[in-house]
Amino acid sequence: MFEQIYEVVRRIPPGRVATYGQIARLLGMPRAARTVGWALHTLPEGIDVPWQRVINARGTISFDPDSPGAVIQRALLEEEGVVFDEKGRIDLDVYGWAGLDLAERQQLLERDP
DNA sequence: CGTATGACGAGCC
DNA sequence: AGGCTCGCCATAC
């Protein structure tokens, strides 16, 4: 389960962001946004997943912006060229990820249980 | 096996 | 705009 989530997150191109709900929808579980958040929250360290490119539907970092993790996330995204507005929001119309194309999505969903 | 727990999201006020 | 309530769902215990 988590592997599939990580797999999708790895497809997000640098400089783009996706929402938790969007990841869930791509995996065919449109209501499991919280699960996606949990998967990234409990991400093993050192694993190759660009977790910083996943934010919430409002375009903000989804936890305390002053926490060390959030500061790192914001720094990583800014390095990739993502711009935060004065309220710490990212414009999803500009930086939002279009998502997988049909073929990629199909391939992902057909993977073994 | 029932409850609790969120890096969520939509809706309502 | 900002805050609160509820529904959701895979894990943890």
Q: Is the pLDDT of residue A35 over 70?
A: yes
C1' of C5 to CA of A33 (Å): 18
Q: What's the confidence (pLDDT) of residue A53? A: 97
- Estimate in Å the CA A107 to C1' C12 gap, whole number: 31
Nucleotide nearest to A24 (CA to C1'): B8
- Strand B proximity list, CB < 7 Å: A 19-22, 33-38, 40-41, 43, 51-52, 54, 56-58, 61-63, 69, 73
**Å between CA of A1 and C1' of B2:** 23
pLDDT at A42: 93
Decide: residue A20, CB within 10 A, 0-12 exposed, 13-18 middle, 19+ buried. Answer: buried
User: Would you state the structure tokens that stand for residue A23, as one six-digit string?
Assistant: 């990841």
Give the predicted TM-score (pTM) of the model. 0.91
Nearest residue (CA) to C1' of B7: A37
pLDDT of amino acid A101: 85
- Strand C nearby residues, CB < 7 A: A 1-2, 29, 31-35, 38, 42, 87
Residues A79-88: what's their mean pLDDT? 94
| pLDDT at residue A112 tops 80 | no
What b/e sequence results for A26-46 when a residue is b if at least 16 CB atoms lie within 10 Å of its CB, and e otherwise? Answer: bbeeeebbebbbebbeeeeee
**HSE toward the beta carbon, residue A64, CA cutoff 13 A:** 4
